[in-house]
Chain A
Amino acid sequence: MKKFIGNIMLTIGLVGGAIASARNPPLWTALGGSLAIMGVGILLRRQGEKEELHQSAAQGKGGKEELKRTLENAIAEIEKIMEEKEKDLEKAREHLGKILETLETFAEKAQPLRIEGIRFYGEVMTSFSKAERHLNRAWSAYADGYVKEGDTYLESGYSQLKETSKLLSSKL
Chain B
Amino acid sequence: MERYAGQALAKREESYREVTPAAIVLGVLWGAFMAASFTYAGMIMGFTSGGSAIAAIVGWGILRGILKKGTVVENNIVQTVASAVNISVSGVIFTIPALYIMSLHQEINTLYFFLATAAGAILGITFIIPLRKQMIEIDRLRFPTGTAVATILKTPGSGIEKARLLFFGMVLSAVIYLIQQFPIFGLPHVIPEVVDLGAALHLPEWVNLTIALSLMVFGMGLITGRNGLIVLAGGVLSYYIITPVVKSLGWIPADVQGSAISSYVYGTMTRPLGIGMLLGGSIAGLILSLPVIAVAMKSLAQASKFKDKNGHNEELPIHYLIGGAIFAFVLLLVTAYKLGNLGLGRSLLTALIGVAWIFIASLLVAMSTGMTDWSPVSGLSLVSVMILLYLTNKNVPLTILMGATVGVAISGAADMMQDLKTGHMVGAVPSRQQKVELLTGWLGPIIALTVVGLIWNAYGIGNDKVPAPQAMALKSMVEAVLGGSVPIDKFIAGGLLGFLLSLSGVPGLGVLVGLSMYLPMLYIIPYGIGCVVNEVAKRKKGYEFIVEKVLPFAAGLMVGEAAMTLLFAVLTVAGVLHP
Chain A residues in contact with chain B, CB under 8 A? 10, 14-15, 17-26, 28, 31, 35, 38-39, 41-42, 45-46, 49, 89-90, 93-94, 97, 101, 104-105, 107-108, 118-119, 121-123, 125-126, 129-130, 132-149, 152-153
Q: Report chain A residues within 8 Å CB of B154.
A: 139-140, 143
Q: Report chain A residues within 8 Å CB of B8.
A: 90
Question: Among B173-181, B333-341, B487-495, which stretch is in contact with chain A?
Answer: B487-495
A42 to B493, CA, bound (A): 18
Closest-CB distance, A27 to chain B (whole angstroms): 9
Question: Among B35-43, B263-271, B317-325, B446-454, which stretch is in contact with chain A?
Answer: B263-271
Query: A119's closest neighbor in chain B, by CB?
Result: B291
A35-B500, A137-B426 given; A19·B246 CB < 8 A: yes
Determine which residue in B13, B133, B273, B500 has the highest number of CB atoms from chain A within 10 A of its CB, and name it.
Answer: B500
Tell which of B17, B265, B303, B500 touches A22, judged by Cβ atoms closer than 8 Å.
B265
Tell which of A118, A119, A136 touches B426, judged by Cβ atoms closer than 8 Å.
A136
| Interface status of B504 (Cβ within 8 A of chain A) | yes
Q: Is the CB of A119 within 8 A of B292?
A: yes
Q: Is the CB of A126 within 8 A of B299?
A: yes
Q: Report chain B residues within 8 Å CB of A22.
A: 242, 246, 251, 265, 269-270, 273
Could you jot down 23 A-B contacts, CB within 8 Å? A17-B496, A17-B497, A20-B493, A21-B493, A22-B246, A23-B249, A25-B489, A31-B496, A38-B500, A94-B159, A118-B291, A122-B291, A125-B140, A135-B427, A136-B424, A136-B427, A139-B427, A141-B71, A143-B9, A143-B154, A144-B157, A145-B12, A152-B309
Interface readout for B220-246 with A: 1 if CB under 8 Å, 0 if not? 000000000000000001100110011
Tell which of B73, B265, B504 touches A45, judged by Cβ atoms closer than 8 Å.
B504
Q: Is the CB of B291 within 8 A of A101?
A: no
Known A-B contacts: A21-B494, A142-B9, A147-B9. Give 8 more (CB < 8 A).
A14-B237, A15-B237, A17-B493, A21-B497, A38-B501, A39-B500, A45-B505, A140-B73
Closest-CB distance, B82 to chain A (whole angstroms): 19
Q: Is the CB of B138 within 8 A of A129?
A: yes
Query: A105's closest neighbor in chain B, by CB?
Result: B543
Tell which of B13, B288, B428, B504 touches A137, judged by Cβ atoms closer than 8 Å.
B428
| Secondary structure of the B contact surface, majority rule | helix
Interface readout for B1-30 with A: 1 if CB under 8 Å, 0 if not? 101000011111111110000000000000
A68 to B350, CA, bound (A): 50
Tell which of A24, A46, A121, A138 touches B505, judged by Cβ atoms closer than 8 Å.
A46
Query: A88's closest neighbor in chain B, by CB?
Result: B9
Q: Is the CB of B251 within 8 A of A23?
A: yes
Q: Is the CB of A143 within 8 A of B156?
A: yes
Query: B159's closest neighbor in chain A, by CB?
Result: A94
| Interface status of B296 (Cβ within 8 A of chain A) | yes
Determine which residue in B1, B14, B427, B428 has the highest number of CB atoms from chain A within 10 A of its CB, and name it.
Answer: B427
| Interface status of B486 (Cβ within 8 A of chain A) | no
A22-B242, A24-B269 given; A143·B72 CB < 8 A: yes
A102 to B219, CA, bound (A): 23
Interface pairs A-B: 8 shortest CB-CB:
A137-B427, A143-B157, A129-B137, A21-B493, A136-B427, A122-B295, A140-B72, A149-B16
Interface readout for B282-316 with A: 1 if CB under 8 Å, 0 if not? 00000011011011100100010000010000000
Closest-CB distance, B252 to chain A (whole angstroms): 9
Q: Report chain B residues within 8 Å CB of A132.
A: 424
| Interface status of B207 (Cβ within 8 A of chain A) | no
Query: B428's closest neighbor in chain A, by CB?
Result: A137
Q: Is the CB of A137 within 8 A of B73?
A: yes
A134 to B137, CA, bound (A): 13
Tell which of A24, A125, A148 touches B137, judged by Cβ atoms closer than 8 Å.
A125
Q: Is the CB of B427 within 8 A of A140?
A: yes
Q: Report chain A residues within 8 Å CB of B288.
A: 118
A24 to B269, CA, bound (A): 8
